[in-house]
């Protein structure tokens, strides 16, 4: 039995389209689309990926889940139909977002998933269409897209429709250049509301920090802020980073600018740029050494110390840690002059050498 929002077929789709149009208007009025430096490759990846996700991948997965469910678990179809709408919506959204938090986090910590998610972080400008910029395979194996299909099969179609609209509202607004939350932070009457809001939901400041190019700015945290709708998971699992400020640069520090076909269709299509992570036969070279590297530091300056050992700019980070469990260490030099920084990455006094390499 198909269920419709307010009795109108496909109403959830119309609402999501309405949210998109709303943000298009805001960004156009805000002058963003006039001043954008996006290349045609960026537009293809963002708009094209949105169309394919919405018209092919998501409906295909929902249909597949319903057919598989009917084939193998026919007795469970519509089993949740008697649940209260509010309770089911709550459960649906929490499970959906929990799955997506861990999938997104894994996409930053495991090399294969990182290569599928990397196009999302190659965007050098924010904008709501960035939300959909990932390789096709990233969405095909995304657990919470399958969760949408499972819930629909179990009788939660209406809950899925409402949940989709609510979630898209948060996700699209957190990627948009129209950053509503900065008005909340500045207004002393609204600031308490902002504190409660950002502890529950993902705000633009929270998510923009995730897209920042480098932690050197003290705002960006590409190795944290993984949440999509709720910020609860980041707080629970120690990956939340709140500054209420916005990075000045977005993207990847070592972006080789792959052709969009490789970015979107990896691993079927690989990049023809030999230094690209998604080129054939590419693997990261271990750059660790058994002796410290002496560098000149300048008092008061911030540096990013490489902890993964893959940076080609040792002992500093060049972004090669993406797709691993490591992240760089940001530190401020206390005095000017030479310093022995660890190159074996076994020091207990990072970033400085403690002679662990001799053990």
Minimal distance, residue 216 CB to ligand FES, in Å = 11
Give CA–CA dist 121/300, Å, rounded: 30
Stretch of 4-12, 125-133, 212-220, 319-327 lying at the interface with ligand FES (CB under 6 A)? 319-327
Tokens coding 226: 């993984």
Residue 43: strand pairing partners: none
Question: 318 vs 354, which CB is nearer to ligand FES?
Answer: 318
Stretch of 40-48, 122-130, 202-210, 314-322 lying at the interface with ligand FES (CB under 6 A)? 314-322
Instruction: Please give the radius of gyration of the chain, using alpha carbons only, rounded to the nearest integer.
Output: 22
Which DSSP state fits 341?
E
Which DSSP state fits 230?
B
Question: If binding is defined by CB under 6 A, does position 326 make contact with ligand FES?
Answer: yes
Q: Which helix (H) or strand (E) holds 330?
A: strand 329-332
**Cis geometry, peptide bond prior to residue 164 (ω within 30 degrees of 0):** no
Contact 230, 202 (CB under 8 A): yes
Question: 89 vs 317, which CB is nearer to ligand FES?
Answer: 317
Binder among 113, 159, 172, 317 for ligand FES (CB under 6 A)? 317
Binder among 158, 306, 339, 353 for ligand FES (CB under 6 A)? 306
Question: 209 vs 317, which CB is nearer to ligand FES?
Answer: 317
Minimal distance, residue 347 CB to ligand FES, in Å = 14
Question: If binding is defined by CB under 6 A, does position 321 make contact with ligand FES?
Answer: yes
Question: 222 vs 227, which CB is nearer to ligand FES?
Answer: 222
Q: Return the HEC string of 32-58.
A: HHHHCCCCHHHHHHHHHHHHHHHHHHH
Question: If binding is defined by CB under 6 A, does position 320 make contact with ligand FES?
Answer: yes
Which residues bind to ligand FES, rule: CB under 6 A? 306-308, 310-311, 317-321, 326, 328
């Amino acid at each position: 039995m198909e269920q419709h929002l307010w009795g109108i077929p496909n109403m959830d789709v119309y609402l999501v389209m309405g949210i998109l149009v709303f943000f298009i208007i805001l960004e156009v009025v805000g002058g963003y689309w006039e001043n954008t430096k996006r290349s045609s490759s960026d537009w293809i990846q963002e708009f094209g990926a949105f169309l394919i996700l919405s018209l092919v991948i998501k409906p295909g997965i929902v249909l597949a889940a319903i057919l598989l469910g009917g084939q193998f678990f026919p007795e469970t179809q519509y089993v949740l139909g008697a649940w209260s709408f509010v309770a089911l919506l709550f459960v649906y959204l929490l499970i959906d977002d929990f799955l997506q938090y861990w999938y997104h986090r894994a996409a930053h910590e495991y090399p294969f998933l990182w290569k599928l998610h990397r196009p999302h972080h190659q965007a050098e400008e924010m904008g709501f269409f960035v939300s959909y910029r990932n390789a096709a395979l990233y969405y095909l194996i995304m657990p919470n897209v399958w969760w949408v299909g499972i819930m629909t099969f179990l009788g939660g179609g209406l809950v899925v429709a409402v949940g989709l609209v609510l979630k898209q509202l948060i996700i699209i607004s957190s990627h948009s250049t129209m950053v509503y939350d900065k008005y909340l932070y500045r207004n002393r009457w609204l600031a308490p509301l902002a504190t409660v809001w950002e502890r529950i939901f993902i705000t633009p400041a929270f998510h923009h920090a995730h897209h920042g190019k480098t932690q050197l700015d003290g705002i960006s945290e590409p190795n944290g802020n993984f949440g999509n709708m709720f910020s609860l998971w980041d707080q629970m699992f120690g990956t939340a980073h709140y500054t209420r400020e916005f990075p000045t640069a977005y993207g990847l520090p070592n972006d080789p600018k792959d052709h969009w076909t490789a970015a979107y269709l990896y691993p079927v299509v690989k990049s023809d740029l030999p230094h690209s992570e998604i080129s054939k036969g590419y693997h990261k070279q271990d750059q660790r050494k058994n002796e410290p590297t002496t560098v000149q530091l300048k008092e008061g300056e911030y540096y990013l110390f490489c902890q993964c050992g893959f940076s080609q700019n040792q002992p500093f980070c060049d972004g090669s840690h993406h797709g691993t469990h490591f992240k760089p260490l940001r530190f401020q030099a206390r005095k000017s002059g030479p310093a022995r920084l660890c190159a074996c990455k076994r020091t207990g006094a990072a970033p400085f050498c403690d002679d662990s390499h001799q053990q």
